[in-house]
Structures are given as structure tokens and as C-alpha cells.
Amino acid sequence: MLKRFDCKYFAITLRENFSASDNGWSGLFFDGKNYYSSNKYKIHILDRVGGEDSFAAGLIYTLLQNNTPEDVINFAVAASCLKQTISGDMNLVSVSEVEDLLRNGGSGRVQR
């Protein structure tokens, strides 16, 4: 993929289907040399729409912050995980909510 599209990085989400609404959620990041796996979350999905957009936004945000590849993939997956637990196609979670999920683990559900 990197050669075909002349990209610096490649990232993808990985979904495990336990049921229509209960999934495992994780991701992979490739920097041209090494693969990095994210944390894995079990989520109860309320709305899938916007999940991949949130993943891409998390990647862009953390890459612009010059984070490590591990931090990039973990933040992107956590952001998209949280988005799928709220209705609508926009991710309404804050950076601090994503960071809280990364620090404390949990079910991958917005805690408000």
C-alpha cells in the first residue's frame, strides 16, 4: 500500500464481531519498517457511522503532535471506539476523554 499510493504510513482498524452490536475494536499502524498494534476494546455499538472518520482524525491529530507510532495508533483507536458509543456521525468526545480511556482502560464507552 505504501509503495502503490506513495504513502509514508498505513493504518487500519480491526473489528471482531461478537454480535451485531458487540464488537472487539483495535488497529494496526505501519511506518514503513515496523508494525504497531493498538490496545483492544470490547464495545457495545450505538452508532457505527463516523467511527472510521474518528479513527482518521485521531491519526492526523496525533501525527501532527509528533507522537510515537504506539501513541498514534492507540489514540486513533480509542477515539473511534468512543465515537461508536454515541449517536450521530460526529465524534463529540474530548481529547481528555480519549486520554482517560488510554490511561484507565475500561469498556471503551464514554463515561459522563
Tell me, yes or no, whether 112 lies in a domain. Answer: no
Residue 18 lies in a domain: yes
pTM of the model: 0.90
In the predicted model, residues of the chain with pLDDT beneath 50 are 112
What's the number of domains the chain is made of? Answer: 1
Q: Identify the pLDDT of residue 111.
A: 57
The answer as to whether 13 is a domain residue is yes
For residue 51, being part of any structural domain is answered with yes
Average pLDDT over the chain reads 92
Give the model confidence (pLDDT) of 10-23 as tens digits. Answer: 999 999 999 999 99
pLDDT for residue 105: 77
109 found inside a domain: no
Residue 38 lies inside a defined structural domain of this protein: yes
What is the span of the domain harbouring residue 14?
A: 2-104
CATH label of the domain that carries residue 28: 3.40.1190.20
Residue 70 included in any domain: yes
Is 111 part of a structural domain of the chain? Answer: no
pLDDT per residue as tens digits for the range 24-38: 999 999 999 999 999
pLDDT of res. 107: 56
85-92 contacts at long range (C-beta below 8 A, 24 or more positions apart): 85/43, 85/44, 85/45, 85/46, 85/109, 85/110, 86/46, 86/47, 86/110, 87/46, 87/47, 88/47, 88/49, 88/50, 89/47, 89/49, 89/50, 89/53, 90/50, 91/50, 91/53, 91/54, 91/57
